Amino acid sequence: MALKRDVFRALKDIVGEENISEDLATLNAYAYHFEFGRCPLAEAVVLPAGTEEVQAIVRICNKHHVRFKPLSTGWGPWNSPGDKGAIQIDLRRLNRIIEINEKNMYAVVEPYVIGAQLQAELLKRGLNCNMIGAGSNTTALTGMKMAGYGWTGISMGVSGRNTLGTEWVTPTGEIIKTGSLSTDSGYFYSEGPGPGLRGLFGCTMGACGGMGICTKGAVKIYHWAGPPEPQIEGRESGYSIKITTDMKMKAWYTHFPSYDKLREALYKIAGTEISYTLSKISTLDIAVGLVETNNEFFKLYNDLQKLITVHGFLIIIVANSAKEFAYGEKVFHRILSETEGKTLQMLEEPCNQGKILWHIIRASMQPQGIFRPTGQFFTSFGTQESIDYSLNQMLYAYKLKKNLAEQGKIMPHLEEWSVGSIYDGGHASVIEHPILRHNTPEGLAGAREFAGQAFVAALDPGLNSHVGGITATPGCDAFYNAVGPGHSNLHLWLRKFKKEFDPQGVSEGNFYVTSENEYQEGPFKLPKPS
Ligand SMILES: Cc1cc2nc3c(=O)[nH]c(=O)nc-3n(C[C@H](O)[C@H](O)[C@H](O)COP(=O)(O)OP(=O)(O)OC[C@H]3O[C@@H](n4cnc5c(N)ncnc54)[C@H](O)[C@@H]3O)c2cc1C
């Protein structure tokens, strides 16, 4: 179903001939996503240059009842329309860092500024920014897109909380400003006056394109005690920060004799506030970060498996002074001795230390781990809950993966691959359980079976206990219908807002809610609401 010619012409008049395409090769490139494979094709892709062009496109969509789906860097299936008849709005021309406000500690960026770009500017100024674990290759304007979890959770929180004043083109094409920007008081604050719009527009959980388009916004920035001009060595995928004797920064990977000891250590460390990052990961991530080929990876991974009983956590301490660093190190080692924890010796070697540090500071490890082995992965999506809950989920996922691998439904090995960070001084934690998958229809079916079961298990508190358990995931009608009744009828409230702000349903809600209050089968099989 091609776009009607008058609609195509109207869009072309807005962005210019070179910034619109209906070319099949181009549309197919947008539609391919490694998790789901090929998603529905958009009818056209348009590349606006700024807020006014975005607004004009959205108005055309409303006039002609055409659905639209925005994308910033395009990481994952939630960027694709759910069905035919929609256009893709690629925001790559909105690529400016508008302001770095050192005094009030925020940066104003457009959606196609990526984390790596912003961070490069910030480190020079002794500042840093929150980035999601997906990588510094994703937008620096996180928070309004999807989950928002990353390595620096313990020191910087989740992306939703890092979002300050923003500018949005609503689903009907109005321009609105949120937080302090709404009263022209600048970008410095996220909420009010009046009801907070941050959650409504998906800044905390992510509306995945279902509530209009954010065209610029401010993110919090943080003090950076590490080197302002890091000396980087090595080559692509093996970059390493040069380790010097005066460095007040170090990474350790830990392992334990039992899960109870690991649990105890995580709680204790989290409460001390000594860490820049504190993440529960398996040695898979460590091995991936240290070597450059798949063969080397499997060798190292197998060697580490023999050495390690219970995979622990990665911690990085970055201190302002030698005294502060010595304090952090002492606290860390004392907790390890109380919990019988050990550190992985190979990380003491400067070359390995430099690689892990730089991978985590730059948030570059996950893409490498996920894409180098097979190019295909799938994940279970985590739930924000307690450290205890995360660890229990991890053990559940581990058994589930083993079981499915034995049946040949998912790739064997790597069953203990779980990735997650600790937040809020140990009061919260998010963990997800990725798998690698075969690039075949059966591989996709097996991966979906795993993710579906793990996902339903992760949602357990949200479904049954009416508390927590609904974050860290892209939604869909089925998802909100399932968790809504346990959460003050969230599914009904979201739809009320959706109808009000998007009466024609043009802001594609396939990973959010649609206006219709009907049950739809989403990407995951979830229980039907009772
Ligand atoms: C390999 C992999 C690992 C991941 N790991 C993590 C992780 O560790 N932590 C985590 O939090 N997430 C993770 N994710 C998911 C990730 O959060 C999203 O892919 C992320 O939002 C990408 O950032 P982006 O804004 O560049 O978004 P895009 O991928 O461009 O878009 C994400 C969603 O937001 C919508 N959107 C994009 N731009 C706008 C805009 N300007 N206004 C309104 N809506 C918009 C899109 O329609 C889409 O639904 C991972 C994804 C992948 C593929």
Per mean pLDDT, which of 40-44, 145-149, 519-523 is the most reliable? 40-44
Q: Compute the distance from residue 35 Cα to the ligand 1 centre, in Å.
A: 13
Evaluate: CB of 113 within 6 angstroms of ligand 1: no
Residue 99, SS3 per DSSP: strand
Q: What is the pLDDT of residue 36?
A: 65
Q: What is the pLDDT of residue 433?
A: 87
pLDDT confidence of 476, banded at 50, 70, 90? Answer: confident
More confident residue, 331 or 477: 331
Evaluate: CB of 78 within 6 angstroms of ligand 1: yes
pLDDT confidence of 309, banded at 50, 70, 90? Answer: confident
**Smallest CA separation from ligand 1 atom 32, residue:** 145
**Stretch 216-245: mean pLDDT:** 92
How distant, in Å, are the alpha carbons of 47, 202, 207, 211, 474 from that of 511?
22, 11, 7, 11, 6
Q: Compute the distance from residue 273 Cα to the ligand 1 centre, in Å.
A: 29
Evaluate: CB of 180 within 6 angstroms of ligand 1: no
Which candidate, 10, 12, 9, places its Cα nearest to that of 20? 12
The answer, yes or no, to whether residue 75 has pLDDT greater than 90, is no
Minimum mean pLDDT range among 336-340, 404-408, 465-469, 492-496: 465-469
Task: Kindly give, in sequence order, each residue whose CB lies less than 8 Å from that of residue 4, ignoring residues fewer than 6 positions away.
Answer: 64
Evaluate: CB of 71 within 6 angstroms of ligand 1: yes
Q: Please write the tens of the pLDDT for every residue from 3-22.
A: 999 999 999 999 999 999 99
Alpha-helical segments (H) within 37-187: 51-64, 115-124, 153-156, 159-162
Q: Compute the distance from residue 381 Cα to the ligand 1 centre, in Å.
A: 13
Q: Which two tokens stand for residue 243?
A: 């380790």
Check if the beta carbon of residue 276 is closer than 8 Å to that of residue 318.
yes
Q: Compute the distance from residue 259 Cα to the ligand 1 centre, in Å.
A: 32
More confident residue, 430 or 36: 430
More confident residue, 289 or 125: 125
Q: What distance in Å separates the CA atoms of residue 325 and residue 199, rounded to the nearest whole number?
A: 38
**Stretch 359-368: mean pLDDT:** 85
Residue 292, SS3 per DSSP: coil
Q: What distance in Å separates the CA atoms of residue 107 and residue 460, rounded to the nearest whole number?
A: 37
Q: What distance in Å separates the CA atoms of residue 520 and residue 496, rounded to the nearest whole number?
A: 17
Average pLDDT, the chain: 88
Minimum mean pLDDT range among 210-224, 290-304, 349-363, 453-467: 453-467
Q: What is the pLDDT of residue 522?
A: 45
Q: Compute the distance from residue 143 Cα to the ligand 1 centre, in Å.
A: 9
Q: What is the pLDDT of residue 269?
A: 97
DSSP 8-state class, residue 42: P
**Smallest CA separation from ligand 1 atom 51, residue:** 134
**Phi and psi torsions of 137, nearest 5°:** -85, -10
Could you tell me the pTM of the whole model? Answer: 0.93
More confident residue, 517 or 424: 424
Q: What distance in Å separates the CA atoms of residue 74 and residue 72, rounded to the nearest whole number?
A: 6
Minimum mean pLDDT range among 49-53, 103-107, 463-467, 504-508: 463-467
Evaluate: CB of 133 within 6 angstroms of ligand 1: yes
Q: What percent of the chain has pLDDT over 70?
A: 91
Q: Please write the tens of the pLDDT for every residue from 182-230.
A: 999 999 998 877 777 777 776 555 788 999 999 999 999 999 999 999 9
Q: Say which residue the tokens 């979201």 belong to.
A: 494
Instruction: Say if residue 138 is exposed, middle or buried (CB neighbours under 10 Å; 0-12, 13-18, 19+).
Output: buried
pLDDT confidence of 530, banded at 50, 70, 90? Answer: very low
**Smallest CA separation from ligand 1 atom 6, residue:** 134
**Stretch 366-383: mean pLDDT:** 73
Report the nearest atom of ligand 1 relative to the CA of 148: 11
Phi-psi sector, 76: left (phi>0), alpha (psi -120 to 50), beta:
left
Evaluate: CB of 148 within 6 angstroms of ligand 1: yes
Q: What percent of the chain has pLDDT over 90?
A: 56
More confident residue, 158 or 522: 158
Q: What is the pLDDT of residue 524?
A: 45
Check if the beta carbon of residue 166 is closer than 8 Å to that of residue 214.
yes
Q: Which two tokens stand for residue 297?
A: 């990876």
**Smallest CA separation from ligand 1 atom 49, residue:** 208
Q: Compute the distance from residue 343 Cα to the ligand 1 centre, in Å.
A: 33
The answer, yes or no, to whether residue 274 has pLDDT greater than 60, is yes
Q: Compute the distance from residue 166 Cα to the ligand 1 centre, in Å.
A: 17
Q: What distance in Å separates the CA atoms of residue 498 and residue 83, rounded to the nearest whole number?
A: 19
Minimum mean pLDDT range among 7-11, 170-174, 432-436, 497-501: 432-436
pLDDT confidence of 432, banded at 50, 70, 90? Answer: confident
More confident residue, 128 or 459: 128
